[in-house]
Structure 1
Amino acid sequence: MQDQPAVKVEQLTYTYDKAQAPSLDQIQLEIRRGSFIAVMGETGAGKTSLLMTLNGLIPQFLEGEFHGEVTIAGYSTQQVPVQNLIQEIGLVLQDPDTQIFGLTVWEDAAFGPSNLGVPLDEIHRRVDTALERVGLAHFHERSTEFLSGGEKQRLAVAGVLAIGPSILALDEPTSELDPEGKDAIFEIVDSLKHEHGMTIILAEHESERVLAHADAVVVLQEGKIVWRGEPQMLFADEESVRRFQLRPPGIATLFWEFRKQGIGLGDACPRTVQEMAARLLANEQKEQGRAVDREGHEPFLAAAQFDAAAVGERRDEAPILSINNLTHTYHNGHQALKGIDLDVYAGDYIAIIGQNGAGKSTLCKHFNRLLTPTGGSILFQGESIAGKDTADLARHIGYVFQNPDHQIFSASVLEEVMYGLRIQGFSESEQKEKALEVLAFVGLDAYSERHPFSLGKGLRQRLAVATILALEPQILIIDEPTTGQDWRGTQSMLELIGKLHERGHTIILITHNMQIVTEHAKRVLIMGQGRILKDCKPWHAFEDPAILKAANIKPTQLVQLESELAAMSGFVPQPGGERALVKAIVKGMGRDA
């Protein structure tokens, strides 16, 4: 068995029942034991379907037309029962809540081996080992109800590991996690591969982490494998990355820019920021024959100059929203906000960042009285909102939840947008006119008669924005607008938000997406432990290491590269962005940018 591949897929074609086209089309794939394979592709490409064929859910439980052969460690997924296959390959789903059954962490991790008739002493050994591997060794008696999203995802992994498979498949396990949670999952996966010899198959949109960790990448598009190979070769190819609608890693975009300027950094994209910095410094030595002084004296990077962008001054106008000494304590005694002072001005585009539990959503839910302050005051256009009705405030301050499904309940897209207008007393004709106008603006007019839950998550997110936008609020709060979306969906949502800002809406985004901070927002609030730690322009957001550590924020790869070069060569980071960094380095090498 050891000579056999961990996974072998031969001429696999699968079409869901009543579907018009196959979700998987002529898949040919072989995965060797002990490797880490990332499966990438935009939403709907067939990633989840492929993973479900590996443990027999397709075709044993999901009806459809199945052709070809899938073998796991030599066992046919069509012939061997799923309850036997899961002892060879475990599948971790995107939403951990769908596979958590126990009341406590230990009970949940023990669920799988218990149902397989494993002896009690062996269950204890397996569960203790699995929880140790995922960093939950001291959580045995913790209620699963009170786990964070990252802890739930780790528990889902532990539950699979306790069954004892040699292959682990994970379906977008980091899509709903903050950066700390994402890093934790990838660290666990790395450990399982390197220390325990497991085969890892990961469907994922996190291109920067895939580039750094995966041995190989398989790209799916419309159910077909359109690319396979090493991640550093995939992300070296700008044309392919854009054609496949993959999110470009930060160092890949820099690699492409350097190549356009004639700075050769090799055929393969660097896998990490550290590797990129080392290649740049090595290139400097080669190009100019100067010894690179790592103590911070000399060469080109220390002399690089940016075209600094002007820092905007605060307008001398009254704020549209003023928060004074705001505090909030939940019923369980947790103090989520601790004396928040904040002025929001008409036309602001604010990104609020910080780790889960920092108080970001709690703060914003006070703005339209979804939550009531424990202390302090909130003024909208100079008047206190205390005692005002949330429905009345919704006409001025709209809130789009992180999960769009929490605010969608009508039978059609058009009816969903009309509902809020109906509550506000608009006539039937006015409701329809305004709803159709808003749907056209957000690009959903072609879906007006569709049921909302027949749409993908990205379109449902747009619908949630449309329902709020129909009320024409001055302030629009959007909680995690890009979470769980592929690159196309992310870009589409950010373009829509940009259009809303251009139309005069004040935008407040709660986000873990640092691209929003560096490329879209005009103002950044960093929160930690219920306080605003910093209120600044985007290019100053990552300057203070102590604040970044306190807020548990991981800067963009561009910022990380600037810091790495500063430590290695005396380079002084300044505002300007990706092209400014490339231009500065090119100038320093004595070339024309």
Structure 2
Amino acid sequence: MTGAHATLRGFGWRPLGRRDEVVSDLDLTFAPGQIVLLAGGSGAGKSTVLRALAGLLGDAVPGQRSGTVEIDAPTGLLLQNPADSLVAATIGREVAFGPENLALDRDEIWRRVHEGLDRVGLRYDVDRSTSALSGGELQRLALAGVLAVRPGLLLLDEPTSMLDDESAARVRHCVLDAARGTGATTVIVEHRIGPWLPHCDRVVVLEHGTVIADTTPAVFVSEHRDRMLDAGVWMPDAPDPEPVPVDRARVAPAAPGPELRADALRVDLTTRSLQGRSTHRALDGATTTLRAGRLSALVGPSGAGKSTLLAAFAGLLQPTAGGVLGAAPAFARRRSADLAAAVGFVPQNPEHGFLRTTVRDEVACTATRLGRTVEVDELLTLLRLDHLAGANPYQLSGGEQRRLAVLAALAHRPGVVLLDEPTVGQDRHTWAAVVGWMQAARDAGATVGVATHDVALMHRSDGVIQLKSGQAVG
């Protein structure tokens, strides 16, 4: 395998329904075998560049394209949301999909399947259902599928953003080993760039779709620090930003948050596929408490049960045994409107909750249905989404979608705030805004629970709930 030569010439992209281009007149070349870190603030155009190189824009993704894209080798793309690329019901078939389309023989296909799963640390049987995986596990599965086709151009959109530190280190090693071993030209988009810098040949930084830095990692760190911090880039060794102050009136709960207690909570999740029905235990006797006026961080490795516990607290999953105490009536027994009034929930995949066709209407949706007033324009400005008020939520970047989901779930000021990985895809500025909102809700008396791998957010929490193998262990 030899690395691809890839070039963007005068490239521009305006998503369908958007007035302005995300990227304009961009000239960028990637040399064969280079490992390039593509950085920049949320919404800077990083994911757009990856999709352009993968040939998705204008076909799979509607919009207006200008300029040219030239690539001389097969391409593999890991999407920011790995669930978007799922095509199979089991993890073995998922990884086999690419090699099958290369018309490889059966033995070679399954050799690559097992090799790919082992590289990313997924130790499950190949018949395990893809719907039984956590978000972080899906990220590793998607990477295994990309590596199995051995592309000449490897494009990775935040490959470690939803992983714990140990899994992230394993995935970085896997990516770098594959890139160096095959000679693939590799373009990596990440917000937390520090761990990648020592291993990259080049750093390219975008701001508003324009290149503002293109240099070596050493020069980038020594000469561009202040400019990058202003642009929201997470520079290594820089202190975490201070959360943005948020007016209490914007977040004060309509009713005080209750203390929620998971009591010996067991949740068995059943999935169905062409291979039949399977059940796995996501929570196994978890006992822990979310207290009012506190920000509690649910932490642990991918697949530990964080998202399941958060959904159970929200009343969105029926326990197999045990229960969630503290809300009367129990959230799981409430009608939709009553549940929405009390609980603001942001799922790990934010677009799963979108209901409207513009950002402005999405923010106002729940509050309007509940008869509560909300200053939409002020909130959009707070979370740096004001320039996207008329855009379709599905045309936003991953980080922008996540901030929109936070606003849509919390604008009506619920007493319980439950957020799954709310800081993924955020730059320094937008991270500070999201964390500022959560802290303000806590200070106003809300019960706040957050599932996260974000160490900076853990440091800002009032308590950490450690999960392992479906149990709360600390």
CA distance in structure 2 between the aligned counterparts of 1:166 and 1:459, rounded to whole angstroms: 30
Please say which of residues 181-190 and 521-530 is displaced more in the overlay. 521-530
Q: 2:96 — aligned with what? A: 110
Q: 1:299 — aligned with what? A: none
| Superposed CA offset, 1:451-509 (max 9, x none) | 54455555544444444445443332222211233333322211222333344434332
Q: In structure 1, the residue corresponding to 2:450 is in which secondary structure?
A: strand
Match of 1:192 among 168, 178, 184: 178
Structure in which a larger fraction of residues adopt strand = 2
CA distance in structure 2 between the aligned counterparts of 1:378 and 1:101, rounded to whole angstroms: 38
The gaps in structure 1 that reach 5 residues or longer are 76-84, 255-317, 535-593
Q: 1:23 — aligned with what? A: 23
| Superposed CA offset, 1:25-69 (max 9, x none) | 342434242x32111122333323333444555688777554467
**Identity fraction in percent:** 31
Q: Where do residues 405-424 of structure 1 align in structure 2 (5 Å cutoff)? A: 405-412=351-358, 415-416=361-362, 419-421=365-367, 424=370
Aligned length: 441
Q: 2:378 — aligned with what? A: 440
**Equivalent residues of 2:281, 2:470 under 8 A apart:** no
Q: Displacement of 1:146 after TM fit?
A: 3.2
Evaluate the alpha carbon distance shift between residue 462 and residue 503 of structure 1 in structure 2; reply closer, same or farther with a 3 A threshold. Answer: farther
Evaluate the alpha carbon distance shift between residue 469 and residue 65 of structure 1 in structure 2; reply closer, same or farther with a 3 A threshold. Answer: closer
Q: TM-score, normalised by structure 1?
A: 0.63
Q: 2:259 — aligned with what? A: 321
Match of 2:230 among 231, 236, 243: 243
RMSD: 3.9
**Equivalent residues of 2:357, 2:393 under 8 A apart:** yes
Is 2:417 aligned against 1:481?
no
**Equivalent residues of 1:44, 1:222 under 8 A apart:** yes
| Superposed CA offset, 1:290-320 (max 9, x none) | xxxxxxxxxxxxxxxxxxxxxxxxxxxx994
| Superposed CA offset, 1:66-100 (max 9, x none) | 44673x4xx4xxxxxxxxx32xx433332333333
CA distance in structure 1 between the aligned counterparts of 2:14 and 2:128, rounded to whole angstroms: 39
Q: Give 1:220's aligned amino acid.
A: L
Evaluate the alpha carbon distance shift between residue 11 and residue 342 of structure 1 in structure 2; reply closer, same or farther with a 3 A threshold. Answer: closer
Q: Displacement of 1:160 after TM fit?
A: 3.5
Q: Displacement of 1:253 after TM fit?
A: 4.3
Q: 1:43 — aligned with what? A: 42
Match of 2:468 among 517, 520, 528: 528
Higher relative contact order (CA 8 A, sep 6+): 2
| Superposed CA offset, 1:160-180 (max 9, x none) | 344343442222223344444
**Equivalent residues of 1:399, 1:477 under 8 A apart:** yes
CA distance in structure 1 between the aligned counterparts of 2:122 and 2:139, rounded to whole angstroms: 11
**Equivalent residues of 1:172, 1:204 under 8 A apart:** yes
Q: TM-score, normalised by structure 2?
A: 0.77
Evaluate the alpha carbon distance shift between residue 130 and residue 488 of structure 1 in structure 2; reply closer, same or farther with a 3 A threshold. Answer: same
Q: 1:556 — aligned with what? A: none
Q: Where do residues 190-269 of structure 1 align in structure 2 (5 Å cutoff)? A: 190-236=176-222, 237-249=224-236, 251-253=237-239
**Equivalent residues of 1:394, 1:471 under 8 A apart:** no
CA distance in structure 1 between the aligned counterparts of 2:415 and 2:68, rounded to whole angstroms: 56
| Superposed CA offset, 1:428-459 (max 9, x none) | xxx5xx13x36534637787666544555555
Q: Displacement of 1:371 after TM fit?
A: 3.4
Please say which of residues 479-488 and 154-163 is displaced more in the overlay. 154-163
Q: Give 1:325's aligned amino acid.
A: D
Q: Displacement of 1:357 after TM fit?
A: 3.3
**Equivalent residues of 2:257, 2:415 under 8 A apart:** no
Evaluate the alpha carbon distance shift between residue 325 and residue 450 of structure 1 in structure 2; reply closer, same or farther with a 3 A threshold. Answer: same
Q: Displacement of 1:212 after TM fit?
A: 3.9
Q: In structure 1, the residue corresponding to 2:283 is in which secondary structure?
A: strand
**Equivalent residues of 2:155, 2:186 under 8 A apart:** yes
Point out 4+ residue stretches in structure 1 off by more than 6 angstroms. Answer: 59-63, 444-449
Evaluate the alpha carbon distance shift between residue 375 and residue 134 of structure 1 in structure 2; reply closer, same or farther with a 3 A threshold. Answer: closer
Is 2:292 aligned against 1:342?
no
Q: Where do residues 362-373 of structure 1 align in structure 2 (5 Å cutoff)? A: 362-373=308-319
